[in-house]
A and B are shown apart, each in its own frame.
Chain A
Amino acid sequence: MIGARAERLTPAERIGCVVRGERADRIAYFLNAGLHGAGLVGASIRELFGRADLAVEGALAVQQRLGNDLVTSFTHAAGEVEAFGGEAIYFDDGPPNAGAPPLTAASLGALTAPSLAHPALAIRLEVTRALVARVDGRIPVVGALVAPFSLPAMQLGLPAWFDLLHDAPREAERLLAVNVEHCVAFGRAQLAAGASVILAFEPLASPTMTSRPLFRALGLPALRRMLAGLGGPCGVSTASAPILGVARELADAGAALLYASEGDDLAAVGRAAGDRAAVLGNLNGVAMRGWSADDVDREVRALVARHRGGRPVIVAEHHGEIPLQVPFETLVRLAEGLRRYGGLDGDADA
Chain B
Amino acid sequence: MAAPAVSDEAIAAFEEALVDADPAGAKRQLQALPGWSVAQLADGLVVPAFDRLGGAFERGEVALSQLYIASRVCETLLDELRSGARPSDAPRPRLGVAVLEDHHVLGKRILLSVLRAAGHTPIDLGHGLGAEALARRAREERLEVLLVSVLMLRSALRVKELVAMLARDGGPMLPVLVGGAPFRLDPKLADEVHASGWGRSATDALRLVAEVVDDWAGVP
Contact = CB atoms under 8 A, between A and B. Distances in A.
B104 interface: yes
A323 interface: yes
B105 interface: yes
A97 B105 contact: no
Nearest to B183: A286
Interface string B90-116: 000000000000111110010000000
A325 B158 CA distance: 13
A41 B138 CA distance: 40
Contacts of B64: 208-210
B99 to A, nearest CB: 11
B185 A100 contact: no
Contact of A214 (B65, B104, B152, B157): B65
Interface string B155-196: 001000000000000000000000001100110110000000
A346 to B, nearest CB: 35
Interface in A210-232: 210-212, 214
**Residue among A89, A162, A210, A262 with the most chain B CB within 10 A?**
A162
B154 interface: yes
Nearest to A93: B154
A159 B105 contact: yes
Contacts of A214: 63, 65
Contacts of A296: none
Q: Is the interface of B mostly helix, strand, loop or mixed?
A: helix
Given A157-B105, A158-B106, A290 B66 contact: no
Interface in A72-93: 89, 91, 93
A208 B63 contact: yes
A320 to B, nearest CB: 14
Nearest to A100: B103
Given A157-B105, A166-B69, A94 B154 contact: yes
Interface string B45-76: 00000000000000010011110110010000
A207 interface: yes
A159 B72 CA distance: 10
A189 B148 CA distance: 41
Given A97-B152, A284-B185, A325 B68 contact: no
B161 to A, nearest CB: 12
A206 to B, nearest CB: 8
Contacts of A207: 60, 63
Q: How large is the interface on A (under 10, 10 to 19, 20 to 34, 35 or more residues)?
A: 35 or more
A211 B21 CA distance: 11
B65 A159 contact: no
A289 interface: yes
Nearest to B153: A323
Given A207-B63, A208-B63, A325-B154, A287 B185 contact: yes
A281 interface: no
A63 interface: no
Nearest to B127: A100
Contact of B103 (A89, A162, A163): A89
A39 B72 CA distance: 44
Given A211-B63, A325-B154, A162 B186 contact: no
**Residue among B66, B105, B153 with the most chain A CB within 10 A?**
B153
Given A159-B109, A286-B186, A97 B103 contact: yes
B20 to A, nearest CB: 10
Contact of B69 (A93, A158, A162, A262): A162
A91 B63 contact: no
A162 B154 contact: no
B102 A211 contact: no
Contacts of A157: 105-106
Contacts of B65: 162, 165-166, 209-211, 214
A280 to B, nearest CB: 18
10 contacts: A93-B154, A94-B153, A158-B104, A207-B60, A208-B60, A209-B65, A210-B64, A210-B65, A286-B153, A290-B188
Given A165-B65, A323-B154, 13 more contacts: A89-B103, A94-B152, A94-B153, A97-B102, A157-B105, A157-B106, A158-B106, A159-B105, A207-B63, A212-B63, A214-B65, A290-B186, A290-B188
Interface of A: 89, 91, 93-95, 97-100, 157-159, 162-163, 165-166, 207-212, 214, 240, 242, 245, 262, 284, 286-287, 289-290, 323-325
5 closest Cβ pairs, A-B complex = A94-B154, A286-B185, A158-B106, A210-B65, A287-B186
